[in-house]
Structure formats: structure tokens, C-alpha cells
Chain A
């Protein structure tokens, strides 16, 4: 899955994402004094950004319904890692569990696709 985009397009994308990301970071830090609080409507919407976006990033990697078919190893590893994430809220423990289970299922059990 290598990209067909050239170096100029890639550099442009990085620059635009970089500027907009920096604008998010600087926004209220720079404005404080003139604008002391996020408008309530904006805050109400923003509150749901992390949960919705992160779940949308995570779930399709664990539950694959695309052309390559359902991957049991990813589903099992994802489910167990979710349990560990819930208990520990620890990035490292979650990663070790997920990768460990993926490799066990993929290399040692006949379930892997």
C-alpha cells in the first residue's frame, strides 16, 4: 500500500496539517484574556471528539469486514487488549497484551486466517 503521491504533495499535506494542528494548540492559549471560556455549544460538541474519533480509529482494526474477510486473530487480540485497557488504562500493558495475543493466535494456534 505504497503511496503514489510525490514529494511536493506530501510536503504540502504535512504543512497544512501542521498549521491547522498548531492553530488548535495555540487557539485558547493565545486568546485567553479576550475569550476566557470556550463557547458552551463548541464545548458540548468537542467533548465527544476523542471518544468518537478514537473508537472509529480502533474498531475497524479489530473487526475486519473488508475483502480480506474476518480476521479472528485480530478480533481476539483486540478484545483481550480492550479488557486490559479497561482495567489498567496503561498504553504499554495494552500494547503488550494485544501484540502478544495476536502472535500467539497467529503463530501457535490454528485459528489465524
Chain B
């Protein structure tokens, strides 16, 4: 184990925890609000370990949406992990299959972004242990804060509207995801369809909105001839 690289990963991820801690608390509180308890909060955080999808699944479960819609919505939200997996894969090439299986489990938006930025810089660092320093810190903080949120859950007055923190977290991730005109169109169309389709039967609003938004983005890109010529 390269402790220096691990510690550097922990140090680099520390500022991001300011955003993760309230996010985890809200994910725990959302479990209680959906009428579920600590085992569900822990199960989601350990087995799924992907905040946005955990929150969406809890909201749909709370509304008694069909289970296929719950699963499909959560998985669509997590499709972005495919992109991170592809992008980080070359840096993990040399590791054994068993290590790859472990590293993949803790792959998140933040672990991906920090690690790839570090690998692309000139800095000499042990790839595996730097990544684990970042990713395991996030994992630990996520588990602790969702448990704390689930325990705290019922003690928070409804009027505070704590569930409003959830879209705020997504909003902060949405802005950097709008990289150009085509992704902007995908966001505007997806968001608008979701607002209009909020009352769709079976809670299909998000899935329909995501599908229409993605289609709009692809069409915009092919109509404008794609980005930077590749």
C-alpha cells in the first residue's frame, strides 16, 4: 500500500465533502420520509452507492410507483457511470481482475473527476492508492451521513422543506453537464417535458422526459454537424 498516495487522495477530496455531507443526510432523511427505515437506508447506500438514483428510487417508492419504473428510473440516472468507466478504464488496465472489481464498486462522479484530473497532470502518484484515498473517503462519509440522516429523519419539521435540498444538489451537478448547445437543448427539453409530464400515469414522467431530452440533444447535434469535428 502506498500511504502517501492514499493520503493525497484523502486530502484532495476533503473540500468536496462540504457538498456530500448534506447530500447524504438528505438521502437518509428521504428514506424515513418514504416510510422506510434504517435497514433500507443502509441497503441503498451500500448496495447501490449512487446518491441521485437512491433519492429518485426513494421518492418513487414513497409514491408507490410500479417497481419496474423505480428500477428503470434509477438505472437511467446511473447510465452516466458507463461513461466514467470507459474514460478511466485505460488507467486501470494494469490491475488484476479482482482489484478492478473493487475499484469499480467505488466509482462515483467525484472519484472519477478527481482521479482522472490527477492522472492527466504531470504529478507522479500511485494510481490505485490515490483513487482509493478519494473513493473510500467518499464511501465512508456517504455511509455515515445517510445513517445519521435516517436516524435524524423524523426529528425535522415538515415546514423546513428539507427535501428541497435534493433538486439543489442535482442542480449543482447539472450546470457543468451543460457543455455546449446540444447538451443545453437536452437539458431544456428534458426539464420542460418533466414539468409538463409530472402527472403522467405510473410516475413515468422522468423516464419519458429523459428519453425525449436525450433524443432532442442527439438531433440537435446531428443538425448542427457535431462538436469540434471528430
Contact = CB atoms under 8 A, between A and B. Distances in A.
Interface string B11-44: 0000010111011000000000111100110011
B178 A26 contact: no
Given A24-B78, A50-B173, A56-B209, A91 B18 contact: yes
A99 B18 CA distance: 15
B40 A10 contact: yes
Nearest to A17: B74
B97 to A, nearest CB: 7
A27 B78 contact: no
A56 B92 contact: no
Given A5-B67, A30-B104, A50-B173, A106 B159 contact: yes
A27 B186 contact: no
Interface in B169-188: 169-178, 182-184, 186-188
Interface string B177-201: 1100011101111111111101100
Contact of A27 (B77, B85, B161, B216): B85
A10 B65 CA distance: 12
Interface in A1-33: 1-5, 7, 9-18, 20-22, 24-33
A28 B186 contact: no
Interface stretch (B2-10, B50-58, B142-150): B50-58
Q: Is the interface of A mostly helix, strand, loop or mixed?
A: helix
Interface string B45-72: 0011110110011000111100100110
A55 to B, nearest CB: 4
B10 to A, nearest CB: 19
B153 to A, nearest CB: 12
A108 interface: no
Contacts of B97: 30
Contacts of A32: 89-90, 92-93
Contacts of B1: none
Given A51-B187, A81-B171, A85-B171, A24 B192 contact: no
Interface of B: 16, 18-20, 22-23, 33-36, 39-40, 43-44, 47-50, 52-53, 56-57, 61-64, 67, 70-71, 74-86, 88-90, 92-93, 97, 100-101, 103-105, 107, 159-161, 164-178, 182-184, 186-196, 198-199, 205-206, 209-210, 212-214, 216-218, 221
